[in-house]
Amino acid sequence: MLAQRTSGTRLARMFSMANLRSTPAADGCRMPGEFEPHRGCWMLWPQRPDNWRNAAQPAQRAFVAVARAIARFEPVTVGASAEQRDVAARLLGPRVRVVELASDDAWMRDVGPTCVVSRRGVVRGVDWRFNAWGGLDGGLYFPWDQDARVARRVLEIEGLPRYRAPMVCEGGAIHSDGAGTLLVTEQCLLNPNRNPTLGRQRIENLLKAYTGARTVIWLGDGVWADETSGHIDNLACFVAPGCVLLAYEENRRDPMHRISRDAYERLLAARDARGERLQVVKLPMPGPLYMTAREASGVQRRRGAKRRRAGERLAASYVNFYLPNGAVVMPLLDARKDAAARRILKQAFPDRRIVGVPAREILLGGGNIHCITQQIPLGGGA
């Protein structure tokens, strides 16, 4: 009886330690930049045939190439469903850890935790509310309950305490410079399909409370035709505090040109949390790229899931890369433009290896390499 009571008390204590009631800002935490050192990277295994063509097999090969490229630089864990776990482990090979983890699709950036670090270097995770990029108003699939449990499960496996954020947000909707500045888009975070009862100021305050940021820089729209309602992670990101890479379409007749130019002007006018101006580096865009009839016909049609149509513009962007320790894993999307993008990335990150991975199959599912990955920062304390 005593033993039972003791273990009950210990369990309750463990639970309250694992679920933090305060906020990262109140606890002195900050969200590191992706360019800071990582403990590792998490991904999910694609399988749903109503998003990935040909029973998800081409996408699985692309995810394998991404996971293996990252695993050269830092540990990678891939969550797969019970029925796909063995297939995933066989295809991913011995350098990638595979764990059983149920999800509705494979966008770890968005359904995984956003990690923050305390002043003593302790890593904790933020578990945002998730509604499949818009809920019943333009969301991409229904239901999404398994996705909504992924962040919590990752934090349990990693043994990290969890903050539960009271707002809908996705990891791809925010970029941090690690020094108190957050980059976001109005199109996504002010979209009524995310937090219809919250105004701009309340959303900004919650972003600050749950990332430790002091300054939020608002860009306007995200990449043209981006089905996430304009995630920042397809449009712009930090190279380091004070320096931003921006997806820039030079062709004035392309609808993306206006979006790039508006973002460029806002970034040049902005000041970061340190009060400094930003250097903005333009990264050319691939394409324009479109879904072919053959590609669209390989995707099963199902009620409740976004339909894929031949001729649809794809939201292709070279900004959608991942930064493992010591490298840039970039999407190869357009043979006419990949080399130029690679050169600019090398100039921006001279000390990192640039590793290109063919990524059209990921793009066909609506995102890219950044969207399918989520880093756990190294932190540095006890």
Binding mask 345-364 for ligand KQY (x = CB under 6 A): --------------------
* Contact flag: residue 172 with ligand KQY (CB under 6 A): yes
Query: Please, which of residues 48-107 interact with ligand KQY by CB under 6 A?
Result: 51, 107
Strand order through the sheet with 96-100: 96-100, 76-80, 38-44, 374-377
Smallest gap from residue 328 Cβ to ligand KQY (A): 17
Using a 10 angstrom Cβ sphere, with 0-12 exposed, 13-18 middle and 19 or more buried, the burial of residue 242 is middle
Smallest gap from residue 327 Cβ to ligand KQY (A): 20
* Contact flag: residue 114 with ligand KQY (CB under 6 A): no
Nearest to 52 by CA among 21, 93, 84: 84
Nearest to 372 by CA among 39, 41, 43: 43
Stretch that binds ligand KQY, among 9-17, 22-30, 185-193, 224-232 (CB under 6 A): 224-232
Active-site residues: which are they?
371
* Contact flag: residue 317 with ligand KQY (CB under 6 A): no
Of 247, 371, 373, 379, the residue at the interface with ligand KQY (CB under 6 A) is 371
* Contact flag: residue 194 with ligand KQY (CB under 6 A): no
* Contact flag: residue 110 with ligand KQY (CB under 6 A): yes
Tell me how far apart the alpha carbons of residues 349 and 255 are, in angstroms, rounded to a whole number: 29
Query: What number of chain residues touch ligand KQY (CB under 6 A)?
Result: 15
Number of Cβ within 10 Å of residue 306's Cβ equals 17
* Contact flag: residue 366 with ligand KQY (CB under 6 A): yes
Of 34, 50, 233, 334, the residue at the interface with ligand KQY (CB under 6 A) is 233
Of 109 and 208, CB closest to ligand KQY: 109
Smallest gap from residue 89 Cβ to ligand KQY (A): 24
Stretch that binds ligand KQY, among 156-164, 231-239, 248-256, 331-339 (CB under 6 A): 231-239
* Contact flag: residue 234 with ligand KQY (CB under 6 A): yes
Tell me how far apart the alpha carbons of residues 186 and 196 are, in angstroms, rounded to a whole number: 13
**Under 8 Å CB-to-CB from 217, ≥6 apart: which residues?**
181, 182, 183, 184, 266, 267, 270, 272
Stretch that binds ligand KQY, among 84-92, 120-128, 229-237, 337-345 (CB under 6 A): 229-237
Of 23, 176, 185, 228, the residue at the interface with ligand KQY (CB under 6 A) is 228
Pairing state between β 123-129 and 114-117:
antiparallel
260-279 burial code (b ≥16 CB/10 A, e <16): beebbebbeebebbeeeebe
Tell me how far apart the alpha carbons of residues 55 and 39 are, in angstroms, rounded to a whole number: 32
- What sign results for the dihedral spanned by CA atoms 300, 305, 306, 307? positive
**Under 8 Å CB-to-CB from 224, ≥6 apart: which residues?**
254, 255, 256, 259, 313, 315
What residues line the site for ligand KQY (CB under 6 A)?
51, 107, 109-110, 140, 172, 227-228, 231, 233-234, 365-367, 371
